[in-house]
Structure 1
Amino acid sequence: MTPRPSAWRCAALALALAGCGSRAAPAGPNKHVASARSDAPGSIDPVLLARVQTTGPIGHVATASILAAPVDADVWSDLAERFDQAINAWDLADAAEVVAAMPAGSARDVKAGVLAFHRATYPEAEALLAGAVASGQLPPAGALREEAQHYLELARGAQRALGPATRLTSPDGQVEVVFSNAKDELIAPYLFAAMAEARQALGADLGIEPDHPVRFEILDDAVKLALVSPLTRENVYTTGTVGITKYRRIVMVSPRVMLYGYGWIDTAVHEYVHYLVTLKTRNRAPVWLQEGLAKLLETRWRSPDPLPLEPPARKLLAKALAADDLVTFAEMYPSLAMLPSQERAALAYAQVQTMLGVLREERGGAGIDELLRRVAAGEDAEAALATAWGDTFERFDAHWRDVMKKRAAGKPGGALRKLQFLAPEQQAAAEAGEDLSLLGDVFSHLGGGAARQHARLGVLLTLRGHLGPAARQYEKARAADARVRDDPKLARRLGELYLQLGKPARAVPLLRRAGEDDPEQPNLAAAEGRALRLVGDLAGARVALARALRVNPFIPALHCDLAQVATDPTEQQREQGLCRE
């Protein structure tokens, strides 16, 4: 799963729940309208439905009373247990075999509906489950009825969340993405490219690749996550959750509907790690292990080695270690998305990421592989980690604490970047490319005095379109107080103005300074990319523009610069088509 504080852009998450702009891309040969295909999301397979209607469907209860024909209770119990194990491990082929072996009746309908839901044939799942619930043959209370009601609500919720969805398939056929809003199809080529890199890197790291296309569902409202998962609206907003992996699919919120976007590509790969770990361990990995590996490996699509903790997360971890106020494994269950704040979620991610990081550093990929193999075999995850490391878990925990205390000592921190959800009234402005970060008291952190007064006047002049006078006010602010001369927020505003005024050489050092402080701010990264392009540093421009792209690809002008620095003719043509100044 993925709540997304800073250390999270995943929150980023396939957690224990897995067990954890603005212009639509033109329709290509891989585009399918879901309602026009019998195998598309939101459709019923007519052949399968006919078979279900004639033979009946499935369920789990240790009695033959709700079956259409007498059957041995032990036989039914064995079949139901095998089905539950298969569906929990996402082994849909085995689950389907069990369904075929079950006698017709409402109990079988329940299991058939659960299977249909995992296949993402939501109308079929709803028909089977609703029929079983309405049949009067299920017990009035108990696990089977609860299962039927749970999946019936999810099947209906998924259809409401996706609506008249469209679907795109990657050129290699390994990824399919379903969009609840066609505007979000813009992200497809970037997601496909990143997932191709992730598939290769993570296949080597974790020793497993899916034998089926990986399904993504992209939602146009964060609240919709509560329709397709056990999460509540409060869970989503409290921890900033933007992605989950559950029921053999990855569900994410579009960066288009977040105030400043979010690290959506890292989140997609984070969730893909959850997907792989679920397959490799047959869904036996606990939340802390799932999230630790997902956070550790979420950048493998763009880096040969896992990246270190970001400064804000490092600061949170250092403070928690000093105060002995860590998030326990018990608190992480059943999901990091259910923790009480983005800070606690970010801390939890920092803990488990660095724990698995220490194991990987000291025991290599073999250590991670042994850990996962033992968990897949049913061994307790803490004991498995201890064995993979070579001592007791208590000694590993003490060693990890010592390592992280030393690494964090004397290092700078920084403020945690919290995810902010876009309000409806901000949607049009954001899609037009306006920078909403100019709103409010941008320079309150400067305190009182002349520097802040000049800076605030600079903002007012900028908003009124008086760019030259605004730049002069920012320069006066820098001159008024040596302590704020290199302030990154001030550097950003002045650098952006110089860029607009046609002075990219003066803009570059200012924007670079600001970018060092806030590398995940997409508008800032886009401005730095343009300035670098204009001064002839095309390599540097590509790096900065890539930062912007993986946080908010819906900045219209971003694609104009990507078109100018593209080396592939196909990419250049695509970016030119998306360019909007």
Structure 2
Amino acid sequence: MKPFLIMITLSLPSVSFGGVENRVHQLLNQWRTAEAAKEAEALLATMPDLPAIQEAAARVKFFQGRYEDALDLLRRARAAAKRDSPLLPLIQATYEETRDHVAYAGKHFTVHVPPGPDQVLADYLIEALEEALARHGPRFGVTVKEPIRVEVYPSLESFARISTLSLEAIKTSGTIALCKFDRLMLVTPRVTLRGYDWLDTASHELIHLLISRRSHNTVPVWLHEGLAKYHESGWRGDYGEPLAPYSAELLAKAIQKDELISFARMSPSMALLPSQEATATAFAEVKTAIEYMLEKKGDGVVIGLLDSIREGRGQLDPAFKNLFQTDLQGFERSWAKWLKKRPMETVSGARKLALEFGENRSSADDMDPSRPDGPAGRRARLGDMLYRRGHHEAAAIEYQRAVDKAGTGYPGLVHRLADCLIASKSFEEAQKLLKKSAAQAPDDPRTWILLGRLGLRSERWQSSREAYEEANRINPFDPEVHDALAQLGIRLQDQELHQRELRAKARLQGAERPGSKEPSSNTTKDKDTAFITLISSPWAEILIDDQAIGRGTPLTDYPVSPGTHEIELRNTALGLKKRLRVTLKPGQRLHKEMTLGREKDDHDKPAK
């Protein structure tokens, strides 16, 4: 479903700290994680036992997705300060919710998904996000050097634990994705009845991340959402996709009644607007505001505006005067005047598809039972009886009579008619009906499933593929989608498509569990275990016996089995690494301090 019901929490609330570690926290608040890591690394090297420094370094590790490292630092801080850090509950919850996730690596993204059916999401997320970054990165003036972490959560309850939002707020607002803590977080479409447009949503969240990085987190909510909404579909086509029919209808009504929602009312959060309709209207407004900006100033206005706001430390009027020769209020007035003349993409019979939480259904089993009243309802129920008996041609006649009387406002009725037309080989009639249905509610996966079936039955292979891929962008848990796309890979002689869909089928069925889990350490400390402490400059990922342990430096008292081990420290971003071989006795505690490329200090601490 289009995310007009999906409220995006844009930014990390400002955190205030004092002391020498303040610069680290300022950089993190500005989404400058790499710079914050350098500051924290230097402070920790000179003051390794100061709790405030350990907490700052832990927050950096949290932003980097190294939750166990962060917890290790917070435990050390607690031992010294005799108190728990306020960061601890969130980091602990995030670690617990993600420790069993399976990791898939792309060029610029690592996708972490729960083991099981949700693994089907990984390939599609990586493919879509790589496409999105290739388009959005230059557009927003951001180059990604370190992989961006993407996390998928298996339930609303799980998402609530790590999002800082309440479960009630998530259900009320329809929040299913966030860009926060320098990473992307999504709820699996599996928790919704019919899915949602999860790949566009991932692209939307990526744009929020790019905006925050470029602007140092100074952009207001309405502009954040407008830029993300306007550009979100650009990974798969042109920027500025037309407004969804339902959103266009709401916006047209707001213009007619002179009830546009001001930009000021959208801050500090669109969640504070009085209704879901108001929220949908606001999203449509800000999307058209970006359209207006681009029409006036061209593509360069995106980076220009972000840079001006950053340089003004969040002050909007100077930025708008610089680019549009008027302050924000003047810009809003001129946009509203322009908007009244803009044609609206309204469609007769446009349907609002609510984001419904519940057990995910395959499209084949999800025919809406709602039927009209009166004579149209009697025709529809007669059609249902004929359909159940397998008389598709006769059922199609009755369904058509019902639609003629009641219109296309009953999706289940329209889909049942289309199903009968396909079964009766009335392909052109089915095509016409389904195209109209897709225009009225483009985010209903059932329509795209039927268009896919129509393409298969009429041997229009490419058309069928496009329809099934549209369905997959909404509900990837329907086995029919992957069965059909695997078959179409053969028909279209596309081996890559065929193999991708075979993997998807296997993951849905639980027959394939590829990827790599981030192992958690065994914290049992006894006489049969050895322990290693590794400190490096710069910080690095740790591999033991050629296996990534999911941890990085600084690492304290990590338990390993006695014997000989190969240890590698690797900083991929800087192209640095260090290898060493160690032999450990039971109970031994090894302490190593290194600069990658040369050893700074190397000594064993005796077992206690």
TM-score bracket, shorter-length normalisation: 0.7 to 0.9
Contact 1:215 1:250 in 2 (8 A): yes
Q: 1:18 to 1:570 in 2, by over 3 A?
A: farther
Residue 6 of structure 2 aligns with which residue? Answer: 11
Q: In the TM superposition, what is the alpha-carbon distance from 1:133 to its structure 2 partner?
A: 4.8
Residue 169 of structure 1 aligns with which residue? Answer: 105
Match of 1:415 among 351, 358, 380: 351
Structure exhibiting the larger radius of gyration computed from Cα positions = 2
Q: Distance in 1 between matches of 2:402 and 2:496?
A: 50
* CA offsets 1:237-286 (integer angstroms, 9 cap, x no match): 11211110010110001112211100011001000101111111111212
Q: Distance in 2 between matches of 1:17 and 1:504?
A: 52
Match of 1:106 among 51, 54, 57: 51
Q: In the TM superposition, what is the alpha-carbon distance from 1:198 to its structure 2 partner?
A: 1.1
Q: 1:339 to 1:129 in 2, by over 3 A?
A: farther
Give 3-state SS (helix, strand or coil) of 2:57's partner. helix
Match of 1:385 among 293, 317, 320: 320
Match of 1:529 among 452, 455, 471: 452
Residue 569 of structure 1 aligns with which residue? Answer: 495
Give 3-state SS (helix, strand or coil) of 1:388's partner. helix
Q: 1:136 to 1:80 in 2, by over 3 A?
A: closer
Q: Distance in 2 between matches of 1:291 and 1:18?
A: 17
Match of 1:479 among 401, 410, 413: 401
1:435 partnered with 2:365: yes
Between the aligned residues of both structures, percent identity stands at 29
Q: In the TM superposition, what is the alpha-carbon distance from 1:307 to its structure 2 partner?
A: 0.8
1:49-60, aligned counterparts within 5 Å? Answer: none
More strand by share: 2
Q: Distance in 1 between matches of 2:428 and 2:267?
A: 51
Matched to 1:101, the amino acid is L
Contact 1:7 1:350 in 2 (8 A): no
Give 3-state SS (helix, strand or coil) of 1:496's partner. helix
Q: In the TM superposition, what is the alpha-carbon distance from 1:512 to its structure 2 partner?
A: 2.6
Residue 149 of structure 2 aligns with which residue? Answer: 215
Q: In the TM superposition, what is the alpha-carbon distance from 1:349 to its structure 2 partner?
A: 1.4
* CA offsets 1:275-319 (integer angstroms, 9 cap, x no match): 111111111212222111111100101112311211211222233
**Unaligned ranges ≥5, structure 1:** 20-58, 63-76, 139-144
Contact 1:491 1:513 in 2 (8 A): no
1:337-486, aligned counterparts within 5 Å? Answer: 337=271, 339-377=273-311, 378-407=313-342, 411-412=346-347, 414-422=350-358, 426-427=359-360, 430=361, 434-439=364-369, 442-443=370-371, 446=372, 448-459=373-384, 462=387, 465-468=388-391, 472-479=394-401, 482-484=404-406
Match of 1:120 among 60, 65, 83: 65
Q: In the TM superposition, what is the alpha-carbon distance from 1:393 to its structure 2 partner?
A: 2.4
Matched to 2:135, the amino acid is A
Contact 1:273 1:298 in 2 (8 A): yes
1:298 partnered with 2:232: yes
Q: Distance in 2 between matches of 1:106 and 1:535?
A: 69
Contact 1:311 1:412 in 2 (8 A): yes
How many aligned residue pairs are there? 497
**Unaligned ranges ≥5, structure 2:** 510-608
Q: Distance in 2 between matches of 1:571 and 1:415?
A: 33
Residue 565 of structure 2 aligns with which residue? Answer: none
Q: 1:358 to 1:61 in 2, by over 3 A?
A: closer
Q: In the TM superposition, what is the alpha-carbon distance from 1:495 to its structure 2 partner?
A: 0.9
Give 3-state SS (helix, strand or coil) of 1:245's partner. strand
Matched to 2:368, the amino acid is L
Q: 1:480 to 1:512 in 2, by over 3 A?
A: closer
Contact 1:265 1:550 in 2 (8 A): yes
Matched to 2:378, the amino acid is Q
* CA offsets 1:53-109 (integer angstroms, 9 cap, x no match): xxxxxx9754xxxxxxxxxxxxxx3x3331122112232332233323253322222
Q: 1:359 to 1:542 in 2, by over 3 A?
A: same
Tell which has more relative contact order, 1 or 2 (C-alpha 8 A, sep 6+): 1
Give 3-state SS (helix, strand or coil) of 1:421's partner. coil
Give 3-state SS (helix, strand or coil) of 2:479's partner. coil
Contact 1:264 1:550 in 2 (8 A): yes
Match of 1:499 among 412, 422, 443: 422
Q: In the TM superposition, what is the alpha-carbon distance from 1:115 to its structure 2 partner?
A: 1.3
Matched to 1:344, the amino acid is A
Q: In the TM superposition, what is the alpha-carbon distance from 1:496 to its structure 2 partner?
A: 1.6
Q: 1:524 to 1:344 in 2, by over 3 A?
A: same
Q: Distance in 2 between matches of 1:409 and 1:290?
A: 23
Contact 1:505 1:531 in 2 (8 A): no
Give 3-state SS (helix, strand or coil) of 1:251's partner. strand
Residue 96 of structure 1 aligns with which residue? Answer: 37
1:157 partnered with 2:152: no
Contact 2:438 2:447 in 1 (8 A): yes
The normalised TM-score by structure 2 is 0.75
Provide the alpha-carbon RMSD of the alignment.
2.9
Give 3-state SS (helix, strand or coil) of 2:336's partner. helix
Matched to 2:64, the amino acid is R
